Amino acid sequence: MTDKNLYELTDEELILEFQQNNTVKAYEILVERYKNPLTNYIFRFLGDYEACLDVVQETFIKVYRYKDSYSSIAKFSTWIYTIAGNLARTEYQRRRRRKFFSINAYGEEKDEIFEIPDESYRPDQLTDSGIKDEIIQKAIRKVSPAYREMVILRDIQGLSYEEISEISGIRVGTVKSRINRGRAQLQKLLEDIYKE
Amino acid sequence: MDLNEDMEFRNIINLLRQLQQVKAPSNFEADLMRRINSEKFSLQNTFWQTIFIPSRMIPAAALAVTVVLLVIVLNNTAVTRENPFSIIPKERQDVTLTLKADNTVPVKQIKTDKIEPVEKNKVELKSAPSVETFGLQKDEALRSESAQTTEGYEKTAGAPAEVNLPEKKLTKPFLPPTQLTENESANVTFASGKISVYPVNKAGLNFRQVNPSSQQKIEINQLKEKLEQMYKSKLK
């Protein structure tokens, strides 16, 4: 199969090609298609660009290593988002624990909520829209993780409720309620911005 | 419902959709492929292939053998001690003679624990259990090599068992030596000769197990010698 033909294939066909014929080009095309959506999703969840890149790379490595565990019944996007989501949650927990212990070691800020530091934004590089983005990103990070993930997948990534339900492994009704609770929290946090 | 909810949060949804897309760096694929190539992906072994490898089998086998050996050793050395409170005391198998307290009728207790009253004047002590020796007769009984010990009494199974009670034999119920009065005596005939059995008061018998001191042992031995001399002189 030529490279041109490979580009015309769907995600499911590409992973099948990679599974059966070990066509690395098919895998590379999948990476090309999903690297940006996954980076966006993981970054909005973690808030750290470097950590986000690590998680995305780890996701693609898992896809490469465990390609045979993919079943053609499920959508490829659902499968890869599930892997990425699990890795992101693990990374979030790990960073949170590390942050907790490092703060407690100094005996400071015990009562505060420990948030992941966002080092990707630099004031000198920010435009007006960039400042707005930063405020929104900070607000997203303040939403509790269970709601945050749902809101990102729905309102930023544009996935359907059913897809989110499959990715997170919870019922559609629960997904909807979590999304709405997340939105409500965000609304409170971003009152000043969306009134403008 | 979804539309209503979306309308309720339409401002926030619009804000989130307007967010700039965060993109992966241009060298993302190159870094990824470098990481993939640097890692060696070996073929995944099945569960059974990972189980049956020498590095796991040897310790597992050693552990299994140790456990089996321990079980065998512990089973052999285990002492099963019975709770003394749960042991049912053994029934006395010997024949004992007891007296009824009310009418002094001797009662014959048989192995079956069935107590049969013995009629007056029908006591014939010709069988082995009737011969009972005490004190001086003990040595004689031992010499006959057929003595059997039964709680203080000694029963000579092989010895000529004939007890000649005094004249009261037929008129008075049989009294075991312990029940004889001080003036009465029983004559016991052994192969070696006929001797008299002197009454021994039950009250005088000491059933307790005593561990005498060395001084007491010497005294006991002296007493034994005296008794033996008395016994021999009697025989003569």
At A194, is the pLDDT very low, low, confident or very high (cuts 50, 70, 90)?
Answer: low
- Give strand pairing partners of B107: B98, B117
Residue A24 has pLDDT above 50, yes or no: yes
Q: How many CB atoms lie within 10 A of CB B141?
A: 23
Chain B residue numbers with beta carbons less than 8 Å from the beta carbon of A35 are 24, 28-29
Question: Could you tell me what percent of chain B has a pLDDT over 70?
Answer: 41
Contacts of B175 (CB under 8 A, 6+ apart): B99, B106, B165, B184
Are the Cβ atoms of A130 and B29 closer than 8 angstroms?
no
Contacts of A38 (CB under 8 A, 6+ apart): A56, A59, A80, A81, A84, B24
pLDDT, residue B184, reads: 56
B71-83, pLDDT tens digit by residue? 988 887 766 667 7
Are the Cβ atoms of A36 and B11 closer than 8 angstroms?
no
Residue B29 has pLDDT above 80, yes or no: yes
Q: In this structure, which topology does domain A121-196 adopt according to CATH?
A: Arc Repressor Mutant, subunit A (1.10.10)
- Residue B83 structure tokens: 């709770």
Could you tell me the residue ranges of all domains in chain A?
A: 1-120, 121-196
Q: How does the average pLDDT of chain B come out, rounded?
A: 66
- Residue A121 touches partner B, C-beta closer than 8 Å: no
- For residue A63, give how far its alpha carbon lies from the nearest alpha carbon of chain B (Å): 11
- Residue A7 touches partner B, C-beta closer than 8 Å: no
pLDDT, residue B67, reads: 95
* Range A1-120: architecture per CATH: Orthogonal Bundle (1.10)
Return d(Cα B231, Cα B140) in angstroms, integer: 10
A125-138, pLDDT tens digit by residue? 556 677 888 888 99
pLDDT, residue A97, reads: 82
Nearest to B41 by CA among A96, A66, A30: A66
- Residue A118 structure tokens: 């966002």
Are the Cβ atoms of B22 and A39 closer than 8 angstroms?
yes
Chains A, B: CB contacts under 8 A, how many? 81
**ipTM confidence score:** 0.76
Q: What is the pTM of this model?
A: 0.51
Are the Cβ atoms of A180 and B22 closer than 8 angstroms?
no
B166-214, pLDDT tens digit by residue? 444 444 444 454 455 555 555 656 555 666 666 656 665 656 667 788 8
Q: Which residues of A73-94 are buried (b: 16+ CB within 10 A; e: fewer)?
A: eeebbbbbbbbbbbbbbebbee
A47-79, pLDDT tens digit by residue? 889 999 999 999 999 999 998 888 877 889 999
The pLDDT of A107-127, averaged and rounded, is 50
Residue A92 has pLDDT above 70, yes or no: yes
pLDDT, residue B1, reads: 47
